[in-house]
Amino acid sequence: MNVLLTGGAGFIGHHMAEHLLRNTDCNIIFLDRLDFSGNLNRITEIKDWEINKKRCKWIYHDLKAPINSQLRGQIGKVDVIIHMAASTHVDRSIADPMSFVMDNVVGTANILEYAREIEVSKFINFGTDEVFGPALDGEIFKEWDRYKSGNPYSATKAGAEELCLAYHNTYKLPVIAVHCMNAFGHRQNPEKYVPKTIANVRDLKEVIVHASPDCKTAGSRFYIHARNIADAVLFLMDKGEYGDKYNIVGEKEVDNLTLAKMIADFQGKPLVYKMVDFHSSRKGHDLRYAISGEKIKDMGWEPKVSFEQSLESVVRWTLDNPRWLLA
């Protein structure tokens, strides 16, 4: 089986590649433009990379442009497409929304056209919980609940997902859509909350915790390690139904102050922190996101490694590999 993995040099993408190489005999065709999010050093650190690299091929391409016939020939035969390439940073989407429209909507349209032309056997689109908007008062969204995007990033991801479903409904493209909650893990971009907190705790710097307007309630997420996400995607490659959506969720909700305290405890250091009103400090962000993972759980999938084990592993590994943190 030949898998075309878009965004394979990205944070979640490289964990997906590692999981495929370790748990299947497939070949991987990486399609990436290697910009801000892509980092080839992630790939070379994949376990047993020297042994498995013969199963991999690199194609440099920016999906804002269609995949032409010459590029199609370089890619070769493709059986499955896992589409993870995207611009993802909320703050940047607010500053430059059109670049996110081009990357996430136009880019997805171009890979869908390619998938339709080659009659791919399976297309998995990687989405986000943020399309549902804020989850208030204990609300937890299911896969087919209404969307209420709170920023240009989530709106473009919603648009990309709707295009995927339209291609399934119109052209019978075998699409499976997933929503994933906040990922963390090894080799994450240091701008993200977990690695940034690891670095700040290590250096005894102040950790900013986004909170309610009265600064008494910290924002919360169902955090999940990227390796568990990759495991769920592999599960859905076998068990998922075309034209359907699936939420991939961590096993428990954790507020960001508790998360920061756990990171400090794993380091044996005090937590210096400040609670700030998230609306005043960050436009377009929501205090709480929550989606239900019951659907995929009922199908037989749950995270194989617990949140606590995953977080401790990431903290200790990151401290031993400080090149993945900001100076």
Query: Would you call 153 a catalytic residue per the annotation?
Result: yes
Q: Average pLDDT over the chain, rounded to whole? A: 94
Catalytic entry in 18, 32, 103, 129? 129
Q: What is the pLDDT of residue 96?
A: 95
In this prediction, residue 326 carries a pLDDT of 75
Residues 114, 153, 193, 273: which is the catalytic one? 153
**pLDDT tens-digit profile of 255-297?**
999 999 999 999 999 999 999 987 665 666 678 999 999 999 9
Which residue ranges form the domains of the chain, and what is each CATH number? Answer: 2-183+222-248 (3.40.50.720), 189-221+252-288+306-324 (3.90.25.10)
Catalytic annotation present for 130: yes
Catalytic residue selected from 18, 32, 130, 286:
130
Question: Stretch 182-207: mean pLDDT, rounded?
Answer: 95
HEC assignment per residue over the chain: CEEEEECCCCHHHHHHHHHHHHHCCCEEEEEECCCCCCCHHHHHCCCCHHHHHHHEEEEECCCCCCCCHHHHHHHCCCCEEEECCCCCCHHHHHHCHHHHHHHHHHHHHHHHHHHHHHCCCEEEEEEEHHHHCCCCCCCCECCCCCCCCCCHHHHHHHHHHHHHHHHHHHHCCCEEEEEECCEECCCCCCCCHHHHHHHHHHCCCCEEEEECCCCCCECEECCEEHHHHHHHHHHHHHHCCCCEEEEECCCCCEEHHHHHHHHHHHHCCCCCEEEEEHHHHCCCCCCECCECCHHHHHHCCCCCCCHHHHHHHHHHHHHHCHHHCCC
With a cut of 60, say whether residue 327 has pLDDT above it: no
pLDDT of residue 194: 97
**Predicted confidence (pLDDT) at residue 17 exceeds the cutoff of 70:** yes
Report pLDDT digits (tens) over 86-125: 998 888 899 999 999 999 999 999 999 999 999 999 999 9
Task: Give yes or no for residue 198 having a pLDDT over 80.
Answer: yes
Percent of the chain with pLDDT over 90: 86
Q: What is the pLDDT of residues 300-311, one digit of tens each?
A: 999 999 999 999
Q: What is the pLDDT of residue 253?
A: 94
What per-residue confidence (pLDDT) applies to 282?
Answer: 62
pLDDT digits (tens, 9 = 90+) for 23-62: 999 999 999 988 766 678 899 998 889 999 999 999 999 9
